[in-house]
Amino acid sequence: MIDAKLVAQLREMTGAGMMDAKKALEEANGDLTVAAEKLREKGLAKADKKADRETREGKIQTYVHGNGKLGAMVQVLCETDFVARTENFVMLCHDIAMHVSAADPLYVRREDVPQDLVEKQKELFRAEVSEQAKPAEIVEKIVEGKLAKYFGEICLMEQTFIKDEDLTVAEFIKGKVAIIGENIQVSRFARFMIS
């Protein structure tokens, strides 16, 4: 028999529903950490299934740093107006706006980077690596690795999330999709700075 206090504690930790929390605790023999991990895995699997669902509601969120000279505005979309008004969704939007102001991405995702810029970067990386006299297939692997790192610097979804360095922004959002239960997409952002 699983203690109701333990179920409540797991629900608070994960945002899971009561029955899901109880079932996870039963499967984990009352181990809170194992149950939380089971819920996270199940939620991430569900999040993958939601990725293609249409997002027509959402929120425009702003963040202004304490000195008033740095800020950001983001447009984050979800499936329903109900979710757009929840505290979890509002906090997600705030965290993304704060990240944009701190990390200064240029594009939302790698697909948004103009192809001519990608080709130019590839050529720069090839020129860098060609001085090392390596075989062509090794050069291409190194160039692809450098390009992935480049996307990780300029694309919001691939940047390391400022509040948890173990996650990218995309992984952070995916974790929230697992909790909130709807597809969530960042559609655009703007960053402002007085220098």
Residue 43 has what pLDDT? Answer: 64
CATH 1.10.8.10 positions along the chain are: 4-50
Give pLDDT, residue 21. Answer: 77
Q: What is the pLDDT of residue 179?
A: 81
Predicted local confidence at residue 75, as pLDDT? 97
The topology under which CATH files domain 114-153 is GTP Cyclohydrolase I; Chain A, domain 1 (1.10.286)
CATH 3.30.479.20 residue ranges for the chain = 57-108+155-193
Summarize pLDDT for 126-137 with one digit per residue, the tens: 888 887 777 878
CA 19/CA 43 separation, integer angstroms: 14
> Can you give the pLDDT at residue 114?
96
Intervals of CATH 1.10.286 along the chain: 114-153
Q: At 162, list the tokens.
A: 């400022």
Helix (H, G, I), strand (E, B) or coil at 168: strand
Could you tell me which CATH class the domain 4-50 is placed in?
Answer: mainly alpha
What confidence score (pLDDT) does residue 191 get? 97
pLDDT per residue rounded down to tens, the chain (195 residues): 777 888 887 776 666 667 777 888 888 888 888 887 777 667 655 555 556 667 789 999 999 998 899 999 999 999 989 999 999 999 999 999 999 999 999 999 999 999 999 999 999 998 888 877 778 788 889 999 999 999 999 999 999 999 999 999 999 998 888 788 888 999 999 999 998
**Alpha-helical runs (H) found in the chain:** 4-14, 18-27, 32-50, 81-84, 87-103, 115-130, 136-154, 169-180
Topology of 57-108+155-193 in CATH?
A: Tetrahydropterin Synthase; Chain A (3.30.479)
